[in-house]
Each structure stands twice: as structure tokens, then as C-alpha cells.
Amino acid sequence: MGHTAMPWAVIIGMPGAGKTRVGREAASILHVGFTDADIQFEHDMGMKIPEFFEQYGEAEFRRAESELVCDLLSSLDGELLSLGGGAPMTERIQQELLRYIERGGRVIYLQADPKEAMERARRGGNRPMLAGDADERWKGLFKQRHPVFSALANAHIRTHGSTPQMAARKLADMISEKDVHIEGSGIEPYEVFIGDGAINHLSQVLGEEPVRVALIHTQPVQRHSDKARALLRQAGYQVTDIVIPDAEAGKTIAVAGGVWDRLGDAGFTRSDAIVGLGGGAATDVAGFVAATWMRGIRYVNCPTSLLAMVDASTGGKTGINTALGKNLVGSFYTPAGVLADMRSLSTLPNDIFVEGLGEVAKSGFIMDEKILDLLEDHAQALREYNAESLESEEFKAIVAELIERTVRVKAYHVSSDLKEAGLREFLNYGHTLGHAIEQLEHFRWRHGNAVAVGCVFAAELSYILGYIDRDLVDYHRSLLSSLGLPISWNNGSWEDVLALMHRDKKARGNALRFVILYDIGHPVHLDNPPVEAVEEAFRSIQQ
């Protein structure tokens, strides 16, 4: 496939929103070119827009403008393009923008505070559409254009109270971020945004219907929940702040019950919403509460750990634990969006970052070999991760690519099989033993670490049964340990492990069921293998 020229992003917005100033500044942060369609128009026509209006009228201006914009959309390559305030109202331009979005383009609606925008529009002059009582005309245009711009754009930025430099940084972050689209049968389509400042999509993803938003988070992520709360309040939502216990201690029926009580007291209705912010356990509980309150209300996940970004927050599994096991109570319920803001990784301790690599590696083993190459090439930097690591643009780009690829693996399996009848089960590679370890360790072992040992166990089982050769088992061991992940576990009896494996959610009736490999990228289901082989594989991960 040849490369098709297209702008990196297109900026739309009301007169006075700062499209030119902020766009130019963002282009300089990103080291790319910037084109303003209005300036280009005046250059091509050899006259100012008000003059053109006066001589030829608005209809002719809109015709000539749409010629120019359509030409720019297919000829600019990798630049930022800002459009005149009324351009997206022209049907031909709308169609071209939708085509541009289909090709992977980003149309960003820059929303300024109306007072600020009117003030700037008045100062700027040169705006024939605002002739007469400029403020009244602006309000009238806003009423017409806002719904169209909101529906057309696939990214929204609010610049209320920001300096042009702050707004430009927001814009640059949004343009550089990665975006994985998730759709499939039985799934309302949604986006996973990955990048610095991804949390800025919060009000866009929640939409205008909710009045109340419950922000469910844990104590350790206070700094990130403060940011989310400020964004929600700025956007006009009434925020109910709910702190739940950290990690698996938060995933209980008692905690969920407490949250239901808070929602009831605050008068939450079916049209209100929930934001889950924190690690995988927090997003699991928030999703479970959202799925069960009034039989399902809108929710958004803001994962703050690597594990939650690549695993728990995407895919629509929600759940809580019971005394008998992990995630035995839950539902399949997809979020309205997932905002994986990479800035939140900078507060993660090393061991919690490394744990997340267990799920990343698993996704490499079952589908995407490029993940394994990236892990292998950057093992030392990943293993030695600390708060300063993300200051390196190169390191940040590697982590972003790992997250994006892992989310794509998950999206592929989930979109074909939301309810886990077949394909989705492949995501459980390493999980049958992993969940047993977590249970027997009373959740003192982190999920990603338990999955790493579980992957070695599954590889050993694949080898014992003749599916793979010894080299691939050794590769599991060497890659996972080079990342600082455990590859052995020696704290439970075979009888206990076997009993828990029988209770695993993936078991069918009394039959044991595993996911094993017959090559990298080729997982298979294994029903009821000889119990001696399973025991032999288990012995091989004991030191």
C-alpha cells in the first residue's frame, strides 16, 4: 500500500477559539508544518475574506472555500490544518472530513470559553459573519454550529482559562496520542486513547447527558483523581467522589454495596455516569457498579497502572472477588471509552510497572511477535523503570507502542467474542495457574507476576504434550526473567492447586481446560489433558 497524503490533524472551532494561534504553536511543539485555510484563501485570491464576501457574496465564498479545503485535505502531508469557523458547515467539506476520519485522520474541535472567544473575535476583526452586533451574531452561530462540530469531530479540547501555550500543549498531546477503536457484535463501539494527557478526553467521552458523575478511585492515585475531578467540574458535571480500598481489597461485595449506597444517596439516575480511576482492581469495581446500577449506566475507565492499561480496563469484563475465587461475580459490560493517560505511569513504583509486563508478554506469546521483540530489545530499560524513565521520549514511545499493541491483541479477541465462548479464552494463556497462585497467596502476589509464572507453566505443559519444542519453553523463561518477572513459585501443594484449577471460570463442568501454544502466535484450547502431564508441568515451575 502506498502512502496517501493527509494532514496529521484538522482543527475546527468557532471564531475566536484560537485555531490559528494555538494550532501554530502546537505545530512548532511537534516540529511539523501548519496551514491556516483562511490565510491560504486570502493568499490564493489576492484579497482579504471580507472583501471577497462584499464582491462575490457568501455562497460564492463557501464554494471557493470548499474547493480549497478539499484540495488541502488530500495534498497536505503530516501537517496541521486549521479551518475557518464556518467551513465545517458546508456539506461537501463535511463529507471530506468524514472520509478523512475514515482514513485514520483526527478532527479536533477546539472549544474556548464563549466569553473569551467572543472577546477575541471582536478584537480580531476581519470576520464578515460577525458584522453588526458581534456578540449576538456569535451566539447565534454557536447555537447552529456547536452540535455539528461536536458530532463531526473525533476529538474535543476545552481551552477554558488556558494560555495559548497550555492549550497548544494539550493539542500537541492529543495529536500525538494513539487511538485503538474497539467494535464487534454485541459491543457499543468505543475508543482506547493512549498518550500524555489522554484524560483530557473525559468530558468528550462522557457526553452531555449525565448530570452527576461518580469518580471512583483509590487513595494512592490521589494526584490523578484530583486532575480528573477538576476536568469534570470544569465541564459542569456534579461530582461525587468515592474512595475505595486499594488493589484486591477493593474488589468485594461489601465495597460495591457501599458504592451503591452512595449513588442512591446522591440521587444517581440511569442517565448519570461513573468514572473508574486507578489500577485494574479499581476499574473492575467501577465497571461492576456501572453494570449493576439501574441495570447499567455509562462508565469511563481511566487506568493508572500499566497492567490496567493493557488488561483490566479494556474488554468489558467487570467483576468482584468472593471468598472462593477471583472474579467469580461480574458481568460483561463495555465502557464508553478508556483513557490511558501515560502521565499517570510516572508515579508507579518499579514493581507495579514490571508486573504489567507479564500481561504484555502474554499478548506477545499468543498473537503479536513484535511485542516480544520490543520486550527483548528493551528489557533492561523496562526492568529498571523508575519515575524518571518517562522523561526519555524514546522510552515513552516504546511503552506507548507496547500498550497499543497489547490493547490491539485484546481488542481482536474481544471484538470477535465478548462473552468468552471461544476466541477470547486465548487471552487466558497463563491464567489458569496464575489465578490459583493469586488465590493461594491471598492476593499478596500481583496478577502480572502470577501470570508470568502461569505462562511458563503453560509452555511446559505444551512441551510435555509435544506441541512445542524445548527452545520455546526456554525462551519464555529467559524473556520473562530478563524483564524482572518471576518464573517459578513454590508456596502451595499440588492438591490445592489442582482443586483451584477445577474451580477456575474456564473449566467446563468437571473437565480441566487450558490454553497452550503450538507456536508463538498460535494458542490452542486443551480439554482434559492427562493429569500426570499437568502435575509434571506444575513441578517444573517449583524451585
Does 21 count as an annotated binding residue? yes
Grid cell 526492568 is found at 383
Does 230 count as an annotated binding residue? no
Does 167 count as an annotated binding residue? no
Does 46 count as an annotated binding residue? no
Does 19 count as an annotated binding residue? yes
Does 247 count as an annotated binding residue? yes
Does 16 count as an annotated binding residue? yes
Does 62 count as an annotated binding residue? yes
Does 20 count as an annotated binding residue? yes
Does 85 count as an annotated binding residue? yes
Does 249 count as an annotated binding residue? yes
Does 431 count as an annotated binding residue? yes
Does 159 count as an annotated binding residue? no
Could you give the count of Cα atoms lying within 13 Å of 281 in the half-sphere of its Cβ?
23
What is the distance between the alpha carbons of residues 94 and 509, in angstroms, rounded to a whole number? 54
Could you give the count of Cα atoms lying within 13 Å of 68 in the half-sphere of its Cβ?
23
What is the distance between the alpha carbons of residues 489 and 433, in angstroms, rounded to a whole number? 10
Does 35 count as an annotated binding residue? no
Does 419 count as an annotated binding residue? no
Does 370 count as an annotated binding residue? no
Angle between helices 350-366 and 470-482 (to 10 degrees): 160
- Whether the CB-CB separation of 335 and 316 falls below 8 Å is answered with yes
Does 503 count as an annotated binding residue? no
Does 284 count as an annotated binding residue? yes
Cα 506 to Cα 133, 251, 431, 437, distances in angstroms: 67, 20, 9, 16
Grid cell 444517581 is found at 268
Cβ neighbours of 135 (radius 10 Å): 15
What is the distance between the alpha carbons of residues 183 and 164, in angstroms, rounded to a whole number? 36
Please report, for the chain, how many H helices and E strands are present, in that order.
21, 16
Q: Which residues contact 30 (CB under 8 A, 6 or more apart)?
A: 8, 80, 172, 175, 176
Does 67 count as an annotated binding residue? no
Cβ neighbours of 416 (radius 10 Å): 13
What is the distance between the alpha carbons of residues 455 and 515, in angstroms, rounded to a whole number? 10
Cβ neighbours of 471 (radius 10 Å): 9
Q: Which residues contact 470 (CB under 8 A, 6 or more apart)?
A: 463
Does 304 count as an annotated binding residue? yes
Does 505 count as an annotated binding residue? no
- Indicate the annotated binding residues: 16-21, 38, 62, 85, 127, 145, 246-251, 280-284, 304-305, 317, 326, 359, 431, 447
Q: Which residues are known binding-site members for Mg(2+)?
A: 20
Feature table: binding site for substrate: 38, 62, 85, 145
Show binding-site residues for NAD(+).
246-251, 280-284, 304-305, 317, 326
Binding positions for Zn(2+) = 359, 431, 447
Which residues sit in the known binding site for ATP? 16-21, 127
